[in-house]
Amino acid sequence: MIVFRGVTKQYQSGQPAVENLNMEIDKGAITVLVGPSGCGKTTTLRMINRMVEPTSGTITVGGRDIASQPAAALRRSMGYVMQSSGLLPHRTVLDNIATVPRLNGVPRRQARRRAEELLDVVGLAANLGRRYPSQLSGGQQQRVGVARALAADPPVLLMDEPFSAVDPVVRDELQKELLRLQKDLAKTIVFVTHDIDEATVLGDKVAVFSVGGRLAQYAAPEEILRAPVDDFVAEFVGRDRGFRHLSFADGSGVQVHEVPTITMDQLGASADGQWRLVVDGERRPLGWASPARGAELVPGGSLYGAGQTLRRALDAALSSPAGLGVAVDEAGRVTGVVRADEVLGRIEADRLAREGGA
């Protein structure tokens, strides 16, 4: 879909921002460009829509050389989401979303109707359409930014650190929202981040750039975590890359055990020295009852869903105050608990199996 051939961008300072880049970005997938500050990832992104012109080399989109296309028309054919959302402060949310369709000659009423549809697509209430950007939270502004980028239904969506300015909870929500949208829309997304965790969560493929604008490794996130190509990539990914790699390890073989449960009206009754899981009338987990804390409801940590990864299973067990990770079905109802020692045993068995098959 997007192909770089021998692309270099050199500024007057002398050192290339991007050096001899050769890379093919797959159609309908999320490709994440990641690396330290000054490594050329944002320059690479901006060369795709000619916000930055390459010094040498060629870039094609859908087989067509972008240098042969008018820059303004090329930019309007692609969605673009930036870090600060870039919304026009004097325009309402609906008018912000309708900006590109209006520039493309779409009648105002039709453009606003499309904007109203996109509010629902990105998970925003219809009544927010009449507000101004200053009346929205940071997370809401970023959702509007994504809606605006999708307004002309572009095949390519460029995202330049779009979630880095929001708090971690909102960032997690926006990442999940992007993955949900991509499942439905199948855009070709190029996403820039400096966060390797975000890269491995979102990317179908990850391009790790090193200082000097060199592409150090380009592969599926699992491969980058499992087999960094050199010392730079290994150091950038971090010493805990083994834990991150668990995000790709199937947890379906983890044993789920029965757990004693009570309801809120039984909280404070004799616990017989055991932790007991507090559930509602639909068997959804509410927290834990501690044998030492009487009628106090203790928060329960993260949950492990059937068929999720070993990382989720281990995180559920380690974050639980009872040392037991709560397992739930697709409806959020309790199916039992998982134990950290058994999850670790499964991790070790998988490692030995991989070594034996190597």
Check whether residue 202 and residue 266 sit in a common domain: no
Q: How many structural domains compose the chain?
A: 2
Confidence of residue 356 (pLDDT cuts 50, 70, 90): low
Among residues of the chain, what percentage have pLDDT more than 90? 41
| Secondary structure element (H or E) that encloses residue 192, with its range | strand 188-193
Whole-angstrom distance, CA of residue 284 vs CA of residue 72: 52
pLDDT of the residue at 319: 85
pLDDT of the residue at 225: 80
Q: Exposure pattern of 262-276 as b/e (b: 16+ CB <10 Å)? A: beeeebeeebeeebb
Six token digits for residue 133: 């950007």
In a domain, 255, yes or no: no
pLDDT of the residue at 115: 92
Six token digits for residue 160: 């330049």
pLDDT of the residue at 54: 94
pLDDT of the residue at 271: 57
pLDDT of the residue at 242: 61
Looking up residue 268, the CATH number of its domain turns out to be 3.10.580.10
Range of the domain at 286: 261-348
Check whether residue 163 and residue 220 sit in a common domain: yes
Summarize pLDDT for 284-308 with one digit per residue, the tens: 999 998 877 777 888 878 888 877 8
- Report the amino acid identity of residue 308: Q
Summarize pLDDT for 136-174 with one digit per residue, the tens: 988 899 899 999 999 888 999 999 998 887 787 788 888
In a domain, 354, yes or no: no
Summarize pLDDT for 311-349 with one digit per residue, the tens: 788 888 888 888 899 999 888 899 999 998 888 887 777
